[in-house]
Structure 1
Amino acid sequence: MKNYRYFTLSLLAFILIISCQDDDNQFGTTEAPSNLQIDFSIVNADTENEFGDGSGAVEFTATADNAINYKYIFGDTQEAPETNGSISHTFNLNGVNTYTVTVIASGKGGTQTSTSSEVTVLSLFDDPATRAFLIGDNPPEDNNNDPVATKTWYVAFQEPGHLGVGPLDSSTPDFFAAPANGLAQCFYDDNFTIANAPNGMSFNHFNLDPDGVGVTFFNAEFNTVGGGGGPDDQCLPFDVSGEKSLSLSSATSGLPEGVSTGTQFSVTDGGFMGYYINTSSYEVLEISESYLYVRAISGSPGGPLAWYQKFTTNPDGSVEGGDGGPNLLETEYENLLFEEEFNVDGVPDPNIWNIEIGNGDNGWGNEELQYYTEDNVTVEDGVLKITVKREPTNGFDFSSTRMTTLNNFSYEYGRVEVRAKLPEGGGTWPAIWMLGENFPDVGWPETGEIDIMEHRGNQQDVIHGSLHLPGNFGGNAITESTTVAGVSQEFNNYTVEWSAERILFAVNDVVYHEFENTSGTPFNNPFFLILNVAMGGTFGGAADPAFTESTMEVDYIKVYQ
């Protein structure tokens, strides 16, 4: 609840400079780039390893007078369409190979100057498993009766999180993960054929039209590439036709083993996997016969983000083995640490629960409309009931209850499971959440906040799981949501599984939000529990004028370690 970044090897080079200096009055004065030079640095090259360490990685820097931007043609079928002159590139052909690298510098009025140089570099990279999965294990025969392995991939649109986005320092889509079937049809119509080729692998992107000219799903930041006029123009005509090349290389993200395969693939000529984010390189996180999960860093001038995409070999968008997407919680915590069954009728156990009174500071920092009392909560027939009512209470129009286990119970790491039925009505804001035990000393958001469940009556049946911490709190919290039918009519299990490595949010054991925990977050200290029902405020929204009262019922709370 909202309360929120060598050794430089001298290379023998041949330089060919071509200047295109045709003046065109419509552009005004033209000025071709001059003094174009390329500097190379082969990563970890030394006297014993003249051609590098086998990674194939080379750092390039191009400089020129009067240059606006630079284009690299690496001589291995890969290109970088536009850079500021500095770029890293990995050459993947096994062994010691020499490549002719060309840089084209562009100046005013479209004038260009180019220079080329040879670089000789060692690559020892090989990932036959990933290659085999990408192109298939049972190759058909082409027209020349030569074995040609080929496989077609589709967007796994029946999978939750088939498209997601998160920060660069995470390996999960902490900002957004698309629900199953939740995005534009133009994205789901695409398919991608990857096949064996003489110099590696070929790549074809099809988006409906036989000639490959169809409609592409654009990130709003780049929709002008497709001719869009505004942020809402995301399904746009775009030419993806033509066979391109695909190559494998060692991933450079630094993601650990178990999170990533350590392999990435890149597509030539600006090829991309259906969602346009101005990149052609994808790190393979997971891959199997029928499933591909990748991570890509957007080429965003406003700041790069980590994007996630899931693909399947099934045209219907489902993943083999199939339930169409539910990511079921596989707990690592089985030992019961704390159990509250609400077995004694009357008031909540005072040895466990503190009842907070009042409206806090500015509605508990959220402009909430209720005044908390000890009279809006009771235990009946093994169920805790918190009722929010429209009634004049100490100058406020609504009353309710907020209760905590501060100083009575807290825990660090484990699985908390709360079985509850939620209130309904416009403006209601029930929450089951946790704050750091050090909250009284360090305050919020420094203490950290884990929202196990939040719901608003103005968005019925949408469950939110959120994290608040310095840099990400309030309206900028790290949050995801899932839709669960009938949350105000039936009991459901709301779960958070929390460790030093990750925090998972689930409803009825279906995970809908994953967060990579690190030593730098506040989520590495004991937390205590909070139950409350608020009314209105920054999250709850407007109260329905016809609202009278509604109740959150809690059957049990269990914590396992």
Structure 2
Amino acid sequence: MKNYRKYLLFMLLPFIFLAACVDDENLDDAPPTTEDARFSFAPSSQTANIIDFTADKEFFLMQWDLGNGSTAEGKTAQGIYPNAGTYTVTLTIFNNNGSASFSTDVVIEQDDPTLVDSPIFNFLTGGAAQANGKTWVIDANRDGHFGVGPNPSQEGDFPQWYAAKALEKEGSGMYTDEYTFLLDNSRFIMETNGLVYLNVEQGSNFPEAFDPGVGDLSAPYTAPDNLTWSLQEAEDEYPVLTISEGGFLGYFAGTRSYQIVNLEENEMFLRFVDGANEELAWYIRLVPKGQEGEAPEPEEPEIGDINFTFEDLVGDGSKQWTLKPAAGAFGVGPAPLSDEFFPNGVDISDDRACLFNDLYIFNSDGVYEYDAQGDVFAEFYMGVAEEGCQPESNLDGTPGEAWASGTHTFEFTSGTPDSSPKITVTGTGAFIALAKAFNGGEYSEGPPSADASITYTVAAYDEETQELTLVLDITDSGSVWWTFVLVPND
């Protein structure tokens, strides 16, 4: 299957207003006028269908509506117009005393099909050969088709905090909506079939919203005609898909712009930030209409017949374990033993060497020790100033200091023909491999719960190599699992 995938470069981009580059009068004088917002434009050197815009003046904040569904900020902007037509472009400028706008029409004389002849356009719309476009629906029969996680992401872009099980939102309206993307004039058709699904914070925008009994709200809604879509691509960032006013995809949380985490011929996985709470990122998974498939059977770790004993865990009295430095040894996915959400088959042991040198020590007297070896892979939920490998001492005095090296207790539950062995660690800050993960959830901030226990299920054990595979369900629905592969520290 053809695949089109871009990965987001994880970095913090602070909003910086460069007031020093702006004339003082633009900040302190009278409100700007329409004349102040005028701009010029000209075809780019590549094609007459790509237009460069330049404002006559510079202001504290400058926002462009490019007339094609795209927006931009700054003194300059570039608009891409694959289809012939007339586009109204508007620049709105702001200073401390008000705002003003100027609009003008840009006429594109001819189509330029080369601008949309690319994998991402063809996957989305079906390409030029599919005159009626391509219709997508929510992949309702698949676990993880809808969910939420932190913003910014912590362990990759996936519904880290909650992922819906197959058909969990039946009756909300989400599963009956259809979304058609056409190349022709970038048209978008939203067929709601009566109901849409929306975040509870958006209820005031839908006067007839009601509780559908599956969480959040549903509402009667008919999408307007003449909707459009646009696509923006930037280096080292996800492509951004934007639907024009009145349209949206899957679940309305106050935004119409979606980051394309993954787009293939038969799958589209989108991420979007909550319009009412920027600390939340929502996810939806769509498939072409008619390719939803059947609801999967619930996946559980293999049970029974795992020959792993207390003696295997503690050795001759004390045994040190560490993460195996290989792909698949530390990951999260929609099922046990899967790392589909992160890092998706990538070996991260070099990037996170401070994690892969940690020691997990089990003693025959029931004492469990965690030794970070002087450094940790710290994340913001611990209360540190920045994420990544750093001295363990950075945890001192933070809400996450309990997750530093320490001594706790453990219990071992032997396996039976019908159940897998289990390891339970107990203590304030006790964990194996990942501090924030526990049964049924993840910490979004420290400190950890006092004297808490976490139980890990043994999913596999290789007696020859002594590779020990542990899994942990962080949801109540069995839809997000962490997997850790440990080996003896030799």
- Give the TM-score taking structure 2 as reference length: 0.51
The answer as to 2:283 corresponding to 1:308 is yes
Task: Give 1:157's aligned residue.
Answer: 140
Q: Which amino acid aligns with 2:227?
A: K
Letter in 1 for 2:167: N
Matches within 5 A, 1:59-458: 73-76=65-68, 78=69, 91-93=79-81, 100-102=88-90, 115-117=102-104, 128-136=118-126, 139=129, 148-170=131-153, 171-185=157-171, 186-197=173-184, 199=185, 201-208=186-193, 214-227=194-207, 234-251=217-234, 254-255=236-237, 262-300=238-276, 302-303=277-278, 305-315=280-290, 317-318=292-293, 324=296, 341-343=309-311, 350-352=317-319, 403-406=367-370, 432=424, 444=429, 449-450=434-435, 454=439
Report how many residues are paired: 343
How does 1:16-31 map onto structure 2 within 5 Å? none
1:172 alignment partner, SS class? coil
CA RMSD, 1 decimal: 6.1
Give CA-to-partner distance per residue, 1:89-141, whole Å, 9 cap, x none.
762226999964235899xxxxx9753257899x996561111112226946x
Distance 2:76 2:253 in 1: 19
Contact 2:423–2:457 (8 Å) recurs in 1: no
Aligned partner (choices 466, 473, 480) of residue 513 of structure 1: 480
The one-letter amino acid of 1:153's match is: W
Unaligned runs of 5+ in 2: 1-13, 19-30, 302-306, 321-361, 378-411, 417-421, 462-468
1:230 shift after superposition: 8.4
Matched residue SS, 1:203: strand
1:483-537 superposed Cα distances (whole Å, 9 cap, x missing partner): xxxx9xxx964589xxxxxx99567xx994378xxxxxxxxxxx9xxxxxxxxxx
SS in structure 1 opposite 2:122? helix
Instruction: Give secondary structure in 1 for the equivalent of 2:310.
Output: coil
- Matched residues in 2 for 1:325 and 1:179: separation? 11
Deviation string for 1:53-108 (max 9, x for gaps)? x99797989999xxxx99964322x277xx9x9899762226999964235899xx
Shift of 1:234: 0.6
1:535-554: per-residue Cα shift (whole Å, max 9, x none)? xxxxxxxxxxxxxxxxxxxx
Does the 8 Å contact 1:61/1:86 carry over to 2?
no
**Residue in structure 2 matched with residue 549 of structure 1 by the alignment:** none
* 1:340 CA drift (Å): 5.7
- 1:522 aligns with none
Cα distance in 1, alignment partners of residues 121 and 204 from structure 2: 34
Equivalent position SS for 1:276: coil
Contact persistence 2:177–2:250 (CA under 8 A): yes
From the superposition, tell whether residues 291 and 183 of structure 1 become closer, same or farther in structure 2 (CA, over 3 Å): same
How far did 1:153 drift?
0.9
Contact 1:70–1:104 (CA<8 Å) still a contact in 2?
A: yes
Whether the aligned pair in 2 keeps the contact of 1:91 and 1:249 (CA below 8 Å) is no
Q: Name the amino acid aligned to 2:180.
A: T
| 2:240–2:258 Cα contact (<8 Å) kept | yes
Q: 1:350 to 1:205 in 2, by over 3 A?
A: same
Tell me the alpha carbon deviations over residues 401-435 of structure 1, each in whole angstroms, 9 at most, x when there is no partner. Answer: 9641446999999xxxx99669xxxxxxx973599
Contact 1:505 1:512 in 2 (8 A): no
> Is the 8 Å Cα contact of residues 458 and 470 (structure 2) preserved in structure 1?
no
Q: Distance in 1 between matches of 2:76 and 2:297?
A: 37
| CA contact 2:143–2:165 (8 Å) conserved in 1 | yes
* SS at 2:121 equivalent: helix
Q: Does the C-alpha gap of structure 1 residues 405 and 343 become closer, same or farther in structure 2, counting only changes over 3 Å?
A: same
The residue type equivalent to 2:164 in the other structure is A
Matched residue SS, 1:134: helix
Q: Given residue 150 of structure 2, which amino acid in structure 1 is its aligned partner?
A: P
Tell me how far apart the structure 1 counterparts of residues 446 and 77 of structure 2 sit (CA, whole Å): 34
* CA deviation string 1:145-183 (max 9, x = no partner): xxx152211100122221122233322322222222222
Structure 1 residue identity aligned to 2:310: F
- Tell me, yes or no, if the aligned pair for 1:59 and 1:86 is still in contact at 8 Å: no
Counterpart contact for 1:217–1:276, Cα < 8 Å = yes
Aligned CA distance change for structure 1 residues 51 and 61 (closer, same or farther; 3 Å): farther
Distance 1:136 1:219, change over 3 A: same
Distance apart, 1:206 and its partner CA: 0.9
Deviations 1:291-348 (A, max 9, x none): 1111223333x43532211001244733xxx77498999xxxxxxxxx9633599x99
Greater share of strand residues, 1 or 2?
1
The one-letter amino acid of 1:341's match is T
Q: Which runs of 5+ in 1 are unaligned?
A: 8-32, 107-111, 141-147, 209-213, 256-261, 330-338, 354-383, 385-400, 423-429, 436-442, 455-463, 476-480, 482-486, 497-502, 516-526, 528-556
Cα gap change, 1:139/1:118 in structure 2, threshold over 3 Å: closer, same or farther? closer
**Preserved CA contact (<8 Å) 1:296 1:308:** yes
Shift of 1:205: 0.9
The aligned residue for residue 387 of structure 2 is: none
Distance in 2 (CA, whole Å) between partners of 1:445 and 1:38 is 59
Counterparts of 1:86 and 1:215, CA distance in 2 = 39
- CA contact 1:94–1:125 (8 Å) conserved in 2: yes
Deviation of the 1:207 alpha carbon: 1.3
What is the TM-score when the length of structure 1 is the normalising length?
Answer: 0.46
Paired letter, 1:75: G
Cα distance in 2 between the residues matched to 1:288 and 1:467: 30
Give the counterpart letter for 1:183 in structure 2. K
| 1:38 alignment counterpart | 37
Aligned-pair distance for 1:216? 1.0
Q: Is contact 2:63–2:74 with CA below 8 Å preserved after alignment?
A: no
Cα distance in structure 2, aligned partners of 1:174 and 1:287: 20
- 2:354 alignment counterpart: none
Question: Structure 2: which amino acid aligns with 1:342?
Answer: F
AA matched with 1:404:
Y
